[in-house]
Amino acid sequence: MTNLKQVDAYLETHLQESLTELGDLCAQPSVAAQAWGMEETAQTVAQMLQKRGFAVEIKETGGFPVVLAERQGRGDKTLLFYNHYDVQPVEPLDLWDSPPFEPEQRDGKMYARGVSDDKGHFVSRLFAIDALLKQNEELPCNVKFILEGEEEIGSIHLPDFVKAHTEELAADACVWEFGGVDYRGVPMQYLGLRGICYVELSVETANSDVHSGLGGSIFPNAAWRLVWALNALKDEDERIRIPGFYDPIIPPTERDKELLAALPPVAEEYKERYGLDHFLKGLTGGLELRTAAVFEPTCTICGLTSGYQGKGSKTVLPAKASAKVDFRLVPEQTPSEVVQQLRAHLDAEGFSDVEIEFLGGGPAGRTDPDDPFVELVVDTAKEVYGIPMELDPMGGGSGPNHAFVHYLNLPVVTAGIGHPGSNAHAPNENIRLDLYLKGAQHIARILTAFGEE
């Protein structure tokens, strides 16, 4: 049996060692969008698992490789951890207070690109395993890891990979790549993720940019074509104009609404954190805001680019324009259907000149809030955080959890080190050291309870 006091003591004593290991991993860039450092980081991650006695394989996917690892434990049960070793791009670089690939601790935090999303989560799990292995030669249960390198670019190859490796990935439950506390410090259990369909729209109207005095009245302008095509996608009232887009949607259940209603208000926190003066669609807070935030699909322009973007004026008529557009999907929307609907809609609206490149995605995935493994994770959290974990039936973000839910038939839970100010996907990404420690303590308890229950 596991002595959790000794586990906690180990974790408290060895915190800086683990952070050093995390720092080394964060110092290694692994920006999937820019194909930067991916193979090297997969190797590093594999070695970190091998060091803990895991049998490790680096598997080709057609994109960046997947790292699979397995270590037998005392019981029959198998817990699968899903993590990713890729990180978001670092731009805009000038907004970082310390270089993104030079991890730095200050004010009880550690800053680096990927330190929270998702390298910190991965290393905190290894840290928990170290503490358990210090006590016993064997872990309380069988443990598997799957780490992918394409999470930040839409997990392009992962669903097919999972589908093709159901035997290697067979398990009884899955712990997701993230987790953490909300702005009150309450540990949250996120039981679902929206799907995503990420596309780049581009249009080209001439073989080169033209002097705007020559062509302004008579030549097609790529930037205008793009603006009008985007305008055709969503109204100013936020209604997405693509025919059929809303048709497959299953509304939230009564149980979903009950769970959402029990969650604390977020309106003031969001307004203050992001400097907002209002929310969309007339929302002001409460259950309506909570519901809209996660149970409604989106059409988000993530980037726009065309023509001259420097200082001052340049009188040019752009030949090319493009936009990055991210659709967040709710059950039962699928990315392939959205791309088809988008193509048909652009064509119908006269924008067959606008090309669509699919940059990745997958449908939404959800876990039953009343699954016994959810209960185990919630109960073990209380010892660590001193307060009960609260259930959020659906997160706003995306990830390939649908493959784990539907192909592997696993309950998927969140347990991790995150906090609302972690700046994931933004400059000055960070973790709080106290939550890093708590996250490892929680993981050690999950493994123990799961193996010994």
**Which residue in the block uniquely carries the two structure tokens 């590093």?**
44
**Tokens read off for 252:** 């939230």
Which position among 8, 21, 148, 296 is part of the footprint of a copy of itself (CB under 8 A)?
296
Q: How far is the CB of 198 from a copy of itself (least distance, A)?
A: 4
Which position among 249, 292, 339, 356 is part of the footprint of a copy of itself (CB under 8 A)?
292
Q: Is 220 in the site for a copy of itself (CB under 8 A)?
A: yes
d(CA 245, CA 161): 28
By CB under 8 A, which span of 132-140, 312-320, 333-341, 404-412 interacts with a copy of itself? 312-320
Q: Is 133 in the site for a copy of itself (CB under 8 A)?
A: no
d(CA 184, CA 162): 36
Q: How far is the CB of 127 from a copy of itself (least distance, A)?
A: 25
What is the 8-class DSSP label of residue 184?
A: T
d(CA 274, CA 288): 20
Q: How far is the CB of 409 from a copy of itself (least distance, A)?
A: 25
d(CA 22, CA 132): 19
Which position among 177, 256, 326, 390 is part of the footprint of a copy of itself (CB under 8 A)?
326
Pairing relationship of beta strands 430-432 and 109-111 according to DSSP bridges: antiparallel
Q: Is 149 in the site for a copy of itself (CB under 8 A)?
A: no
Q: Is 164 in the site for a copy of itself (CB under 8 A)?
A: no
Q: Is 289 in the site for a copy of itself (CB under 8 A)?
A: yes
Residues 8-37 interacting with a copy of itself (rule: CB under 8 A):
32-35
Which position among 308, 336, 372, 421 is part of the footprint of a copy of itself (CB under 8 A)?
308
Which position among 62, 108, 213, 286 is part of the footprint of a copy of itself (CB under 8 A)?
213
Q: Is 236 in the site for a copy of itself (CB under 8 A)?
A: yes
Residues in the chain, total: 453
By CB under 8 A, which span of 15-23, 44-52, 377-385, 420-428 interacts with a copy of itself? 420-428
d(CA 354, CA 287): 38
What is the 8-class DSSP label of residue 65?
A: P
Which position among 138, 305, 382, 406 is part of the footprint of a copy of itself (CB under 8 A)?
305
Q: Is 397 in the site for a copy of itself (CB under 8 A)?
A: yes
Output 21 or 117, the one with its CB closest to a copy of itself: 117
CA-wise closest residue to 124 among 145, 97, 100: 145
Residues 43-82 interacting with a copy of itself (rule: CB under 8 A):
none
Q: Is 198 in the site for a copy of itself (CB under 8 A)?
A: yes
d(CA 232, CA 223): 14
Which position among 133, 263, 283, 356 is part of the footprint of a copy of itself (CB under 8 A)?
283
Query: Would you list the DSSP string of 213-262?
Result: HHHTTTS--HHHHHHHHHHTTB-TTS-B-STTTTTTPPPP-HHHHHHHHH
Query: Would you list the DSSP string of 253-299?
Result: -HHHHHHHHHSPP-HHHHHHHHT-S--GGG--SHHHHHHHHHHS---
The residues that bridge with 431 in the sheet, in sequence order, are 110
Q: Is 396 in the site for a copy of itself (CB under 8 A)?
A: yes
d(CA 65, CA 328): 25
By CB under 8 A, which span of 137-145, 179-187, 244-252, 269-277 interacts with a copy of itself? 269-277
Q: Is 315 in the site for a copy of itself (CB under 8 A)?
A: yes
